[in-house]
Structure 1
């Protein structure tokens, strides 16, 4: 079996080395000529997989090691009898970690000492947005959710209007990119909706870049009463608008889901589907392949209040300002074409583990232990 795979999919050699020959490629620049002798194609979200890429190739199995599938023409694959697998939910916890860390920095900036009264609006309640909603609610935060397709399907949960969600203190975007149909999301936050946001609000986009009109957002951020904005995804990746990046409060290179666990779970799920398709049992186990965390333990005394303890634990595990600094350094000296360097930040991403990898030893109040546990940390003491 001949497998062609994106160079940014981790642990494939361990999971799929028993199935045949593995060739690594740049997923963003992948062309049909690289697939003329391939049986299997494994991608991430930067590769558009459709008739233009696969026509007249021997590829019979396509897998994407991602939650989203809007970069895959699944209807065409089905019509051609090409097997397909994705990794729903694989990096949901990683994106939640990203959002919680950004939210914690926002609370520090706002000098808030409590979560009382804080409202967070979540647009898109699928694998990621749904998990985020549950974690935020467990932390005691008031959450408003907008997801018209899910609401129309009869899902049993409280939904709010988009206007109500956009009135929250923090707005977090987690929709797929939908161009047409009853509920399109392309430029869902257009010039008019961006104008309604105020300077006391925070907008986070870790879903799809084009859900926000980036040029309209740049115009909005040039105004005196602009909201704070944290962008992890961008229109025209890997070449986002440099002026927009400069004006964002936090700017990161599409890495919200890039925890070791998030990426590796995606690999494991797609590898399992590939082994089933090939009729070969999979022997590798993710538990034996993860690297040790950079920090495995944190000790907090009773002098650290609940929200401060949560902030310190989140920042110890993952501080998005590090990714922000790397991206800004790249663009500060970038030539017109930043494509290779933007992708290099993602390819060479440092080891980042999720909260469950870190034990927090605690001398403190029950409320502190509750917050830390519900954010995913292992709490002892």
Structure 2
């Protein structure tokens, strides 16, 4: 059995080496010739999987190690009896920690003694948005949820949803929607001139979902006007050839890596391994945990003298500080225009190892129960 896989999927041989022969290829440039003799195809979001790629091939199963499926022609796969699996939720915690780190930077910029004073509107309450909401509520934030498809299907009063305009009135607005164009609630350019005009310099807009959800041309115009909001983008229109004019105007820019923690990547691989094993009728013997290496930083300690917000900020940034990715991206986009797409992809391909908060043990000596609860809510391991 031949398994053709995106070369940037981690631990391919560890998970799939005893299932079949693994052939690594470039996901961005994957061609019909690459997959013609494959039995299994494993991709990430940079590969369009459709009739043009697969017609005439032997592929009987497609797996994407991502939460999204807008790069997959699901109807064509179904019509041709090709098995499929995605990895929903695999990197949800990684994206949550990305947003928390951005929030900590924003609270510091606003000189807030307590970051939970910020109100947060979450647009798109699926695996990522839902987990983010739960974490923020545990941390004491006031959260408003906007998800029109879920609101339309809601059959009980367990969750209260608001419309987009109400979410856009929050101090921070974070987008976690899929990209849809032809659905009852399309998200393509969901945020355009009208929505951007509602935002002020007292607000932060974060997008770590899909780049096309925000009209980047309209965003450029808005950021050139008075009273413009701060904007943090991890996703962009026209990736990988992003518009440097947008990057130059946003407060924080990162190269589509919010979900790129090692844990998130490996969990995506594990989920597709499990799905393929079930498809082939094979036993599931491997788990992500057995392949995770020891983290570079394993323990930090705080005493009773620690300020609660400062301690949380330090621990979060010990695991991940988005300013490093921002600096790398801005430096990379100084390259000639015809090289920027390759360089953008390179930033993702060669992304340094980033571990989640669960990899870090936090020792607390004489600290408050409030601080202990906050560290637990974020996901740190505690030693008290």
Instruction: Give the structure-1-normalised TM-score.
Output: 0.98
1:116, distance to aligned residue in structure 2 (A) = 4.8
Aligned to 1:379: 382
1:24, distance to aligned residue in structure 2 (A) = 1.0
Provide the aligned C-alpha RMSD in A.
1.1
Which runs of structure 2 are paired with 1:1-381 in the superposition (5 Å)?
Answer: 1-154=1-154, 156-363=158-365, 364-381=367-384
| In structure 2, C-alpha distance between the alignment counterparts of 1:116 and 1:54, rounded to whole Å | 49
Aligned partners of 1:2 and 1:39 also within 8 Å: yes
1:209, distance to aligned residue in structure 2 (A) = 0.2
Measured against aligned partners, the alpha-carbon deviations of 1:215-261 in whole angstroms (never above 9, x if no partner) come to: 11111111131110110000000011101111111110000000000
Measured against aligned partners, the alpha-carbon deviations of 1:112-154 in whole angstroms (never above 9, x if no partner) come to: 0014532000000001001001001110100001001111121
Count of residues paired in the alignment: 381
| In structure 1, C-alpha distance between the alignment counterparts of 2:336 and 2:376, rounded to whole Å | 42
- Tell me which moved more, 296-305 or 79-88: 296-305
- Tell me which moved more, 142-151 or 46-55: 46-55
Shift of the 307–40 alpha-carbon distance from structure 1 to 2, 3 Å rule, reads same
Aligned partners of 1:294 and 1:352 also within 8 Å: no
1:179, distance to aligned residue in structure 2 (A) = 0.7
| In structure 1, C-alpha distance between the alignment counterparts of 2:292 and 2:146, rounded to whole Å | 35
Measured against aligned partners, the alpha-carbon deviations of 1:152-201 in whole angstroms (never above 9, x if no partner) come to: 12163111111110000000000000011210000000111111110010
Structure 2's unaligned 5+ residue stretches are none
Secondary structure (helix, strand or coil) at the match of 1:336 reads: helix
- Tell me which moved more, 137-146 or 275-284: 275-284
1:41, distance to aligned residue in structure 2 (A) = 0.7
Aligned partners of 1:15 and 1:282 also within 8 Å: no
| In structure 2, C-alpha distance between the alignment counterparts of 1:366 and 1:47, rounded to whole Å | 47
Structure 1's unaligned 5+ residue stretches are none
| In structure 2, C-alpha distance between the alignment counterparts of 1:224 and 1:330, rounded to whole Å | 29
Instruction: Give the structure-2-normalised TM-score.
Output: 0.97
1:304, distance to aligned residue in structure 2 (A) = 1.9
- Tell me which moved more, 69-78 or 179-188: 69-78
| In structure 1, C-alpha distance between the alignment counterparts of 2:303 and 2:216, rounded to whole Å | 44
| In structure 2, C-alpha distance between the alignment counterparts of 1:116 and 1:90, rounded to whole Å | 27
| In structure 2, C-alpha distance between the alignment counterparts of 1:340 and 1:255, rounded to whole Å | 16
Secondary structure (helix, strand or coil) at the match of 2:28 reads: helix
